[in-house]
Amino acid sequence: EAEVAQSPRYKITEKSQAVAFWCDPISGHATLYWYRQILGQGPELLVQFQDESVVDDSQLPKDRFSAERLKGVDSTLKIQPAELGDSAMYLCASRRDRSAISSTEAFFGQGTRLTVV
Amino acid sequence: QKEVEQNSGPLSVPEGAIASLNCTYSDRGSQSFFWYRQYSGKSPELIMSIYSNGDKEDGRFTAQLNKASQYVSLLIRDSQPSDSATYLCAVIVADSGGSNYKLTFGKGTLLTVNP
């Protein structure tokens, strides 16, 4: 069964350092999401891609976070510099359709647990 | 008002009982609704999707949608200890400009099924 791949699974970094997460969506999935989930909270959308284009990054802290999906396939989320408050689970999800509303579901990768010390 | 709201719980039920989880949403134009299950330390796993008013059943799970009242619920029959997890309601909602639709989650309800 096709899966969303994420790496690394765990990352410990010191504050002020740079950190990057990678996601490879299910083959053929046009929509890719990056979420941040703090313990006890629901996932919060950071950025949404349709193919290689960003369609929503309204909640992305752009002074320190960046995301790209250059060829419309895999994606990288970067934090520089990392802060203590960035400690969270970073989740990537993908969905097949490009359309604004459709009946296709989103599937998640295993996530990256980031700890900033 | 938050876009997707859930009671955070915890909800505790005995084994074999029916667990009822509820969710309300603010965007009347929403068309797609999902329930995800998330075990502690793991990523969300899709368990149900529903798009039309009424009930949709899949094994022990039943999703219910009422667009007029803007709520969606999940019933788990014959609850098992392995059902103990956080259940996340997700809705596709329009952004403030109305030009993009994003998958938005509630905070989740923690369910505990006691043996």
Over residues A103-112, the pLDDT tens digits come to 678 999 999 9
Q: Which residue has the higher pLDDT, A2 or B83?
A: B83
pLDDT at B69 over 90: yes
Mark yes or no for CB contact B34/A95 under 8 Å.
no
pLDDT in the model for residue B99: 67
CA distances (Å), B72 to each of B3, B5, B38, B59, in order?
A: 13, 10, 18, 18
pLDDT of residue A101: 59
- The contact set of A with B (CB < 8 A) is 33, 35, 40-45, 48, 55-56, 58, 89, 91, 93, 95, 100-103, 105-111, 113
Can you give the pLDDT at residue A67?
A: 98
Q: For residue range A10-48, what is the model confidence (pLDDT) as tens digits?
A: 999 999 999 999 999 999 999 999 999 999 899 999 999
Q: How far apart are CA A87 and CA B74, in angstroms?
A: 31
DSSP, collapsed to helix, strand or coil, labels residue A65 as strand
At residue B1, the pLDDT reads: 61
Which residue, among B16, B13, B45, B18, has the nearest Cα to B111 in the 3D structure? B13
| Structure confidence by residue, pLDDT tens digits, A75-102 | 999 999 999 999 999 999 999 876 655 6
Cβ distance B44 to A108 less than 8 Å, yes or no, reads: yes
**Mean pLDDT on B85-97:** 86
Question: What is the band of A53 on the pLDDT scale with cuts at 50, 70, 90?
Answer: very high
CA distances from A34 to A1, A45, A65, B16, B71 (A): 22, 6, 11, 37, 26
The gap between the terminal CA atoms of chain A, to the nearest Å, is 37
Which pLDDT value is given to residue A104? 77
Q: How confident is the model at residue B8, as a pLDDT?
A: 78
Q: Is the peptide bond before A8 cis (omega within 30 degrees of 0)?
A: yes
The answer to whether A40 touches A77, Cβ cutoff 8 Å, is no
